[in-house]
Each structure stands twice: as structure tokens, then as C-alpha cells.
Amino acid sequence: MSSSPSVPRLQLSGISKRYPGCLANDRIDLSIAPGEIHALLGENGAGKSTLMKIIYGVTQPDSGEIHWQGEALKMRDPAMARSLGVGMVFQHFSLFETLSVAENIALAMGAAAGTPKQLEPKIREVSQRYGMALEPGRLVHNLSIGERQRVEIVRCLMQDIKLLILDEPTSVLTPQEADELFGTLRRLAAEGCSILFISHKLGEVRALCQNATVLRGGKVSGHCVPAECSDLQLARLMVGDAEGLESSYPKASGGLPRLRVDDLSWHNADPFGCTLSQIRLEVRSGEIVGIAGVAGNGQDELLALLSGETRLPRNEHARISLDQQPIAHLHPDARRKLGLAFVPAERLGHGAVPDMSLADNALLTAFQQGLLSKGLIQRGKVRALADQIIQRFAVKTPDADALARSLSGGNLQKFILGREILQQPKLLVAAHPTWGVDVGAAAAIHRALIALRDAGAAILVISEDLDELFQISDRIGALCSGKLSPLAATAETEAVEVGRWMAGEFAPLPPITSPLAAPAAHLS
Amino acid sequence: MLLSLEPRGQQSRAMLWLSPLLAAVLTLLSGALLFSLLGHDPLQTLHTLLIAPLADWYGVSELLVKALPILLCALGLAVAYQARIWNIGAEGQLLLGALAGSAMAIQLIDWDSRWALVWVVLAGVAAGAAWGGLTAWLRTQFNANEILTSIMLNYIALNLLLFFVHGPLKDPAGFNFPESAMFGDASRLPLVSEDGRLHAGLYFALLALVAVWVLLHKSFLGFQIKVLGLDRRAAGFVGFREKRLVWFALLVSGGLAGLAGVGEVAGPIGQLVPQVSPGYGYAAITVAFLGRLNPLGIVCASLLMALLYLGGENAQMTMNLPQAITQLFQGMMLFFLLACDVLILYRPRLKWKWASLPVLKKVAA
């Protein structure tokens, strides 16, 4: 086998793929040398996922050629790709929820690799070496988004790997962990492994990747060396125009307290879940509070308690209050009536019903906004609301009859956020608002959140994307193992400090003194 | 691969209507083939099965009499199935409705007032709903799978009915036959016309049809039921109460099946007998899906199912065809209907073998 440095590890020429109604890939050329870290940039829907699936053998191109180490071949299926040494970490995880971590990894590696039990020591070793804590015996359905991604990464690293494809791998890591991952990737590259790295975070692409290929609308819109390009140039290649891609917003200080969480403790019955202890939090009108943290540190539990999917018994109803009114015992619809709006982490299957139209999905949370009359649905009003959301938030869709699942992630997120904002909430809780969303849509979502803040709403954003939190939030804190760090004004802290909080390095809260104690007083 | 199916990306509107037609043509063709292989004249057999039963008003009224209980049960099932609550217990709920209605009718056998009928119908509906409510209770309280509990409750209902018809409700003047006394005229459903057996249950069915249509397509309650069925997490996220919706769906489902049951005993039969239902509650499951859980679709599907019942009896009587053959014919029809539904979401495409050859050559090179 010829593997001299001049022969690319992988070369794609003229790859095209058509799906019903869209040309996902249009004559794409791409070449990756051995040991190269190559970035693939592009908006959602630009054709990155399709291209990766073609490389990994999940789908077949309609035309074009794939050369692996100089030889033309047809990538029949993922098993063939894996046997050649291609590993892939999908953005949408390909894990079996009812199986354990070790069983999932054993399944992907084939019978020859051994039983799940035999693999456990190696899983522990690999996960420890790369700083990704993972318990092989846990069932996948108990894992959070971030933990599932760790399973995928570890699964690839356990194979003898020649080309590793990563789709937005850092979105669930703390900055320190991301740096560690980059170290790992550089080490892998130095050992000769090629890496195809998909990310929206232009900063990390610049730090890590030697070359970048940018896709737009299914076509290659440019090749560049990221280190020599500015964020704006890269963003322009990706979205065409750079309008509204500014990266800083003025900070606000907030008014009266809207949301108060008072020493909230909640015991999780799931032995692998996270138990919350003494969460103390205040969100004022006209400010955005950001909560950072690595997935699985209590975010899901806190979100469920705030939305009302988990309720506290009546005698603890004052643990959470909205405008001085206790709400911890109320159902989600009763909380919405009081002015709470909520954007959950998972867009499809939680925030929106995949198999219902956008109009029906508008009705889903807005039904208390005069869309009903004597128990009957006012179709005209529902339709008007959906059209208004689509228009005001520039949702790309044929019309309000389109099924939620037919929209791209960014578009659906704009729709969901628009649906909540148009209800003029007093308090908006948003989880991972731009997770897996392209740069253009993320900027639109950030602008919408800032506009809502300036209109006087209180906003709580829980996210794993630290850059995003620093960009939009006025005060920031972090969750670690079910405990919340003190909150600090974003302008007065920095990523390294929040990163320490994310790792649990903060002093425990002092016993409660005054309910309106300044947050800065909690800083150690 | 010679024939492949590609996803259309969205439902084809044309195929939504064309698929049942295509299925009908395929059923007729393969039915004709089947009958001619068996040595019967295919056209005449099909005529006997599908057209002869509807030759006169009596035939049409018999068709409606058969279709009514199926329709009522299937409408109720559609409500439950929209919420993905798999109630298999329509048969038991129907039997219990018939049993309770009969018990009430026997009590009121001497009444002359029309209130007797009201009480009989109410008793039937309440008993059917209660039997459905039992499933709801087991599901919401103990998280017991409703498929299993509702099937098991079917057998309990059947044996309860047999016990009562052989015991407490047996007609003392009935020569020890397992039958109740004939109901009083005041508690019988009046006939719709002089000829035939079509009874006022027709109005109940029409009322139920409109009510279920409004519920599923216009009301917010129906919307909640659909959200619960499609996406349980989204339903919880906006605060729809799952337990209440499960109770509601099963009570409606059971109540309508109970109405079907009491309609049979107070209508065409006029007394409680062991064979109240030839499996209407089970046929309704097929009908509900055949009608795509849509009330109007269910009307068509229940008429079709009733026609197949009637045609089967007709073919047995006039042509000596074994019942198995007519059941085979029914099975083919259902198979083709469901198979053709694939075309709604998928487009068939012929691929010729040589299309993939150039790629193979390049790989070999």
C-alpha cells in the first residue's frame, strides 16, 4: 500500500448527491493528507452531514469518486469504513438507548473486539486518558446529551484509526476539556491520523486546523487556511453576507427580581442522575443570566423543575417563585399562565412535535393566548400566529403546514424561540438555545434574546457553550454536580474562572442572610 | 435491485386517495383469480359477494344494521388510538354494555313510558365506560399495559355475560334456553322504517360520528390527545395531564362500545343471548386503522366490513362456498389496503441492472 506523504489519505472528486427536493452535495472536491487536521465549515443544510455520511458509507453518492490512500473505491457501508480505519462522531448520536455504554461500544466494534465486559477496562483507560469520565455500565438513556457524545468519541478512539471525523465535538466540553481534546487530536494527527473537524466555533477551527473547506448550499464556496482568515471572512464564506454577525452586545444590569430560586434541593431517584443541592438563584427583569456547566451536572433536573415537568410538593411551593408568587408546585400550563416561557434543549420530541405542522406546534404552547373558544381551536388565529412567527423570525419554510421535522435545526429553533417570545413572557428559560445551530441562525437567536431582554423580560440561559454565554449574558454562573456556583457579572469575570466553577472549584454558599444579597458578595 | 422504494419526503395527496382504489382493483383481480382456480365463475362469485347483498332496500338496511355496532366501536377506538392507547377491549366493553342494558330492561319490562329506553341505553353506556375505565385505572395506577389488561377483560366480560344469561337473567318461562325474556316494547329501539331491521341506533351512530369528528378535528381536547399520542414528552412539557387524557380516551372508547352493545340487544335482537356479537369489537380494530383513525374514513371502512360479513353469509348460502374462502377474501382486501398505503410515503422506482455497472467497473480497475 502506497502511503507516501504526497498521496492524500482521502480524496473526493466531483461528489454529488440529490435527495427528493434538494441537491445536498453538488460536485464537491475535498482532499485530506495523512496527519492533517482539516476543517469543514458550513451552515446547517449546507451539505456537511451528507458529505460525511458519504465518506462514512452511510449513503452512496449519485456521482463522483472516492480515493482512499490513492485507490478508487466504493464505500459500501459503515462497517467497510470502520475496517479501513475511518471513525465518526455524529452530531445526532447513533446509540442504542436501552443498552449500556460498553454494549454500545462493543456493538460498533464487532464481535472480534470482545464482549462488553472484556472491553470495560479499555473503555475506562481510554476515557481516562482523554479526560472524559465515562462509566461503562451505565445505560445510554440515562445519559445527557454531552455524555452521549463522550461515548461516541471514546468509541472511535478505541479503534485503530486513520481518519477521524468529528461533528461539533467541543460543544459539550469546558474550555479546559476542549483544550485537552485538542491536545489529544494534535497527538493523534502527529501519529499520522487525519482528522476532519466540523465546527461552527471559528476560534477553535483557527486554533486547531491547518486547512479548511467551506460549504454553502451544497457547493464548495472556498478553501482557506483558517489561521490567515478573520472570523468575518470565514463567516462570509459560510453565510454569504455578514450582516448581524457582530459578536458583542451591551451588558445590562437588570431591575426587580423576577425569578427566585431559594435553596432548592431535589433528590434524584435515578442512581445515575444528578441530585440538586441548595440552588440559590435570582433573575431580574431586563437581564440575561447564563448558567454554564458540562452536561449531566444537574442541568436537565434544574430545567425540569423550572418548567414544571418535575413539581415539588405543596409545602415546598415557595422554593421557586415568579414575581413573589410561589410556583414550584404548579403544572407547566399554570406557570405559563403566570408568564413563564420555556425553550427546552431538544427541539424535536420535546420543544416541538415532529409529526405536527408548524401551526399545530404554535398552538402547543400558545394555547392560553386566546387561541381557543369554548374548547374549540380557532384555526384562523392559530394560523395567523404561526405566520407571524415565521415572518418575524425569518423561519425558512414553505408555509405553516410544513411538518416540524422537515425543518433544519436552526430554522426550527428560530420558530420555537419565536413562539415563546411572541407570548411576551415575563421570564424565559432557554436551554442550549443555539446547540447545533448554524452561525447565521445563532446570531438571529442571540439578537432576539437581547431584544426580549431590552423589552424588560428576565431570561435564564443554560448552555454548554461558554463563548455564547459570555456573549449574551449579563451575569454568569456554573453548575457542577448539582451545585450552583455564585453568579458574577460577566464583564468582571473571565472564561478561566468560569471554567474552574464548571469543574466544581467554588466555595459553598454561606447560610442565607438577606434575600436580596448582592451576588458579588458571594464571590470567593 | 430491480424495484426500489424511495421516500417522497412528504405525504402524497394523490396517493392518499388513489391507494384505496388501487387496493380495490388488486383485490378484485386476485379474488377473481382465486375463485376461478377453485372452479367458480369469478364474476358471478364477486357478484354474490359484493353486489347481491345490496340488491334491495332490505339488503341495504341489513348492511347498516351490521355496520352500526362496528362503526360505534371503531369511532371510540379511534379516540384512544390517536392517543396511542391501544385499547383492544372494545369487544368486552360492548358485551358489558349489552349485559347491563339487558339487566336494566328486564327490571323495567312492565314500563310503558319511553323513559325505559333512556334508562336502558344509559345503563349500557355506563357499563361500557366503566369496563374501559377499569383498563384506565390499571394503567394510570399500576402502569399496567393496556393491551394486556383490555384483552383479559374481554374474557372476563364474556364469561360474566354467559353466567348471567345462564343464571340470574334467564327467562323463567323460556324452557331453560340460555336467553333472557324479550324486552318490553318501551325499552326497544324503534325501527327507522317499516321494512327491514334498521333501528334508531342509526341516530346514535350519526351523533357519535359528529361528536368524535368535532372532538378530534376541532377541539383542543382532541389536540391534546393527538399530542399525547405523537410525543409524550412534548405533552408533559406544556402541561397536558397524561392521566386525565388516558381516562378520558378509555371512557369515551368504552362508552361508545357499550352503546353499540346495548344497541344490539335493544335493537335487532330484543333480548340478551350468548351470541350478542360475532366479534364486532375485534373487527372494529381493523376498521379503525383501515379508516386511518379518521371518523369519515371509519364510516367507509365499517360499511365495507359489514358488506364483507353479509357477502360471506350470502356466498355460503347460495354458492356453498366455505366460510374460509370468504375470510381469505377479506384478508386479501385488508392486506392490499395496508400494502398500498406504502405508496403514500414512498415512490416506487424501477432500476435497471446496467445502471450500476460503470461504478463497479471503476472499482475493479
Domain boundary among B319, B336, B355: B319
Say how far apart CA A473 and CA A488 lie, in whole Å: 10
Per-residue pLDDT reduced to its tens digit, A418-452: 999 999 999 999 998 887 677 778 888 899 999 99
- B256 and B331 belong to one structural domain: no
Q: Measured in Å, how far apart are chain A's first and last C-alpha atoms?
A: 60
Does a structural domain hold residue B224?
Answer: yes
Q: What is the pTM of this model?
A: 0.77
Contact B344, B15 (CB under 8 A): yes
* pLDDT score of A458 more than 70: yes
Residue B207: CB atoms within 10 Å: 11
Same domain, B252 and B224: yes
Q: How distant is the Cα of A366 from the closest Cα of chain B, in angstroms?
A: 9
B330 and B300 within one domain? no
C-alpha to C-alpha distance for A460 and A478, rounded to whole angstroms: 12
Q: CB distance A332–B233 less than 8 Å?
A: no
pLDDT exceeds cutoff 80 at B97: yes
The answer to whether residue B58 sits within a structural domain is no
Contact criterion met (CB < 8 Å) for A356 and B227: yes
Amino acid at A20: P
Residue B72 lies in a domain: yes
Residues 6+ apart with CB under 8 A from A440: A43, A238, A239, A245, A410
Q: What confidence category does residue A231 fall into, taking pLDDT thresholds of 50, 70 and 90?
A: confident
Alpha helices in A194-297 (DSSP H): 202-208, 231-239
Does B122 fall in a domain? Answer: yes
Alpha helices (runs of H) in A374-475, residue ranges in sequence order: 379-392, 409-421, 439-454, 466-472
Choice among A57-71, A114-128, B276-290 with the minimum mean pLDDT: A114-128
Residue A334 to residue B230, Cβ atoms within 8 A: no
Given a cut of 60, whether residue A512 has pLDDT beyond it is no
| Statement to judge: residues B235 and B357 lie in one domain | no
Give the per-residue pLDDT at B149.
96
Phi then psi dihedrals of residue B314, to 5 deg: -60, -45
B180 in a structural domain = yes
Kindly tell me if the per-residue pLDDT of A518 is higher than 50.
no
Q: Are A433 and A463 in contact (CB under 8 A)?
A: yes
pLDDT digits (tens, 9 = 90+) for A157-168: 887 788 999 887
Summary mean pLDDT of chain A:
84
B55 part of a folded domain = no
Give, rounded to a whole angstrom, the gap between the first and last alpha carbons of chain B. 23
Predicted confidence at residue B358, as pLDDT, reads: 46
* One domain, residues B346 and B297: no
CATH of the domain at B253: 1.10.3470
My answer on whether B240 and B158 are in the same domain is yes
Is residue A316 left, alpha or beta, with left meaning phi > 0 and alpha meaning psi from -120 to 50? Answer: alpha
Residue with cell 461533528: A167
B231 and A354 within 8 Å at the Cβ level: the answer is yes
DSSP string, B178-193: S-PPPPPGGGSPPBSS
Instruction: State the average pLDDT over residues B150-168.
Output: 95
DSSP state at residue B267: I
Count of domains for chain B: 2
The pLDDT value recorded for residue A521 is 40
CA distances from B209 to A428, A501, B265, B308 (A): 42, 61, 21, 22
B312 lies in the same domain as B326: no
**B333 and B210 belong to one structural domain:** no
Contact A377 B362 (CB under 8 A): no
Confidence of residue A388 (pLDDT cuts 50, 70, 90): very high
- φ, ψ dihedrals at A42, nearest 5°: 165, 155
| pLDDT, mean over chain B | 89
Same domain assignment for residues B103 and B216: yes
Q: Which domain holds residue B291?
A: 65-319
- How far B82 CA sits from the closest chain A CA (Å)? 13
Mean pLDDT across the stretch A23-29?
87
Tell me which residues of chain A have a C-beta less than 8 Å from any C-beta of chain B.
19-21, 65, 72-74, 307-309, 331-336, 342, 344, 346, 349-356, 360, 363-365, 367, 372, 375-377, 403, 406
Q: DSSP 3-state assignment of B211?
A: helix
Q: Are A41 and A213 in contact, with CB atoms under 8 Å apart?
A: yes
Instruction: Please check the confidence at residue A91 and state whether its pLDDT lies above 70.
Output: no
| pLDDT value at A175 more than 80 | no
Interface touch B239/A342, C-beta < 8 Å = no
Question: Do A391 and A400 touch, CB atoms closer than 8 A?
Answer: no
What domains can you pick out in chain A, each with its CATH number? 10-239 (3.40.50.300), 257-507+516-522 (3.40.50.300)
Q: What is the pLDDT of residue A131?
A: 65
On the CB side of A346, CA atoms within 13 Å amount to: 18
Percent of chain A with pLDDT over 90: 33
Indicate the residue of B223, B240, B359 with minimum beta-carbon distance to A74: B359
Same domain membership, residue B221 and residue B299: yes
Let me know whether B346 and B214 are in one domain. no
**Grid cell in block for residue A54:** 458519504
Q: Is residue B59 part of a domain?
A: no
B209, part of any domain: yes
Confidence of residue B9 (pLDDT cuts 50, 70, 90): low
Q: Residue A29 pLDDT more than 80?
A: yes
Same domain (yes/no): B297, B280? yes
Distance CA B138, CA B85 (A): 13
Which member of B214, B230, B359 has the closest CB to residue A353?
B230
